[in-house]
Amino acid sequence: MTDATAGGMSAGPDRRSASLLTADPLMRRRNAAETRFRLYGVAAIMISLSMLFIMLWTIFSDGVSAFRQTSLTMAVTLDAERLDPQGNRARDDMMKVTTIGYTNLLNDALKSYMEARGIDTGEVSDRELSAFISRDTPAQLRNQVIANPDMLGQTIEVKGFATGRIDGYFKGRVTRETAQVDTNISVAQLELADQMREAGILTVGFNWKFLTNTDASDQRPEAAGLGIAIIGSAYMMLLVAVFVLPIGVAASIYLEEFAPKNRWTDLIEVNISNLAAVPSIVYGILGLAIFINFAKFPQSSPLVGALVLTLMTLPTIIIATRAAIRAVPPSIRDAALGIGASKMQTVFHHVLPLAAPGILTGTILGLASALGETAPLLLIGMVAFVANYPSGPLEGGMLEPATALPVQVYSWASRSDPAFIERSSGAIIVLLAFLLVMNIIAIVLRRRFERRW
């Protein structure tokens, strides 16, 4: 800017004589500067795009495999003497046979099933063969048998997961080279796995259970799923929306339409802007002190999580809502007041409906940022291992322990079994999908209903 004016003054007389079509040195410099600036801009965009691309590529290349899983199908004879030693089919007595008993039954069943199918296990020992069966399978089978004791004595087909290392072999995570140095899997086991896949005992298919199963311990990464995390996040988003909308809208309407302009409202305004910039972990500390230690709400519950996230998103939503209300032209208010509407009628009949799309867009974007938040949940006990689904929303499920999607990403990323890396990235994909859907809804709402004056 200064360059141009300074140059223009000194070069003034020359320029008058030169043609506009021939570039003088000054003009060339200015044009070059503009070209350079455009290139900087393109470079900046390219850098951000390539970073985004690298990030997405890593996540998807690591995570897509979480949606496919190797299953092991075999015939199992449910030996009544082993599973119900008392022989009375009473639930309490059958409960005494633990998952360890079922594990042994399945191990023997797999061995005899392999013999029946004529597959030579070769160098693979019995112990190594039983390492094919996920530790999740006996638990599932036990639940089925206890729920339905008539199954005892029958031969049924049991389909369960194969363990993480076998699954990793079919996904390329485990190779014969790594198996040579890996004490958890042998090359012989991998060769057997190939045979079993040909025989149709091992199958690879889409893994719905990744979305519905609960979290699993470090010993069974193959069974770990996002079920509780998705429910927990859904409960929290629902509650945050219920809490944040009335409070945010009421505060914004008052500040924008009714509050007198004085030092107090200025102070409040500055505070709201400041609160929007407070790091989220601070809200976690606040939530621990107020909601858990003082109000005695249950730990790890979506209710407390939602209250904390409400506090966190409230300032952002108030700011967005006020902007939406301010965007409604004063002439509409004047017209309403002019034909005798009260101030409140003006607000609720005219201003609020016209501002609604903007408010909803702001709210959805606020919810989307709350959905990705982990730090405040750390302090209120939601970064935890939870193995039981919370009940339905009407049966107090919002007070029972749950986790959240970003929390699951974090806790899987720190597990020791390499199979959890894939699941962690898979969870990121699910989280990104939710964020994408919410943002699309926000954009659609804005496009369809926003009015411009």
Partner 1 sequence: MTNKMLTSAIAMIALSAGAAAARDQVQITGSSTVLPYSTIVAEAFGENFDFPAPVVEGGGSGAGRAKMCEGVGPNTVDIANSSSRITQRDLDTCAANGVGEVMEVRFGYDGIVFASDVNGAEFAFTPGDLYNAVAGQVAKDGAIVPNTYAQWSEFNTNLPAQNILVLSPGTKHGTREVYDERVILLGCKETGAYDLFLAVATGDDDRAKQRAANGECTKLRTDGRNVDIDGDYTETLARLDADKDAVGVFGLSFYQNNTDKLRVATMGGVVPSTESIASGEYPVSRPLFFYVKTAHLDVIPGLQEYVEFFVSDDMAGPDGPLAQYGLVSDPELAATQAMVADRTPMAPLN
User: Which residues in this chain contact partner 1 in the complex, by CB under 8 A?
Assistant: 95, 98-100, 135, 139, 142-143, 174, 178-179, 181-184, 216-220, 239, 242-243, 245-246, 249-250, 292-293, 295-301, 303, 378, 381, 383-388, 396, 398-399, 401, 411, 413-418
Q: How far is the CB of 182 from partner 1 (least distance, A)?
A: 4
Say how far apart CA 44 and CA 34 lie, in whole Å: 15
Say how far apart CA 158 and CA 327 lie, in whole Å: 62
Bridge partners (DSSP) of residue 204 are 70
Between 239 and 404, CB nearer to partner 1: 239
Q: How far is the CB of 9 from partner 1 (least distance, A)?
A: 56
Q: How far is the CB of 231 from partner 1 (least distance, A)?
A: 15
CA distances from 145 to 133, 149, 358 (A): 18, 5, 55
Between 48 and 143, CB nearer to partner 1: 143
Between 230 and 379, CB nearer to partner 1: 379
Between 113 and 227, CB nearer to partner 1: 227
Report the interhelical angle of 352-371 vs 227-253 (nearest 10°): 140
CA-nearest of 402, 400, 398, 405 to 384 is 402
Sign of the Cα torsion 347, 352, 354, 359 reads positive
Between 384 and 429, CB nearer to partner 1: 384
99 DSSP assignment: H
Say how far apart CA 433 and CA 16 lie, in whole Å: 61
Between 378 and 441, CB nearer to partner 1: 378
Q: How far is the CB of 266 from partner 1 (least distance, A)?
A: 27
C-alpha triplet 139, 143, 146: angle, nearest 5°:
135
Between 40 and 348, CB nearer to partner 1: 348
Q: How far is the CB of 6 from partner 1 (least distance, A)?
A: 50
Q: How far is the CB of 407 from partner 1 (least distance, A)?
A: 11
Cβ neighbours of residue 32 closer than 8 Å, sequence gap 6 or more:
none
The contacts found for 141-147 with CB under 8 angstroms, 24 or more apart, are 141/76, 141/102, 141/106, 142/97, 142/98, 142/99, 142/102, 145/78, 145/83, 145/94, 145/102, 146/91, 146/94, 146/95
Between 61 and 271, CB nearer to partner 1: 61
Q: How far is the CB of 317 from partner 1 (least distance, A)?
A: 14
Between 292 and 319, CB nearer to partner 1: 292
* Complete DSSP assignment for 261-284: -SHHHHHHHHHHHHHHTS-HHHHH
Query: Rounded to 5 degrees, what are φ and ψ at 239?
Result: -65, -40
Residue corresponding to tokens 């339409």: 257
* Complete DSSP assignment for 168-207: HHHHTSS-HHHHHH-TT--HHHHHHHHHHHHTTSEEEEE-
Q: Which two tokens stand for residue 154?
A: 């029958």
Between 34 and 218, CB nearer to partner 1: 218
Q: How far is the CB of 48 from partner 1 (least distance, A)?
A: 24
Contact present, 106 and 135 (Cβ < 8 Å): no
Q: How far is the CB of 418 from partner 1 (least distance, A)?
A: 7
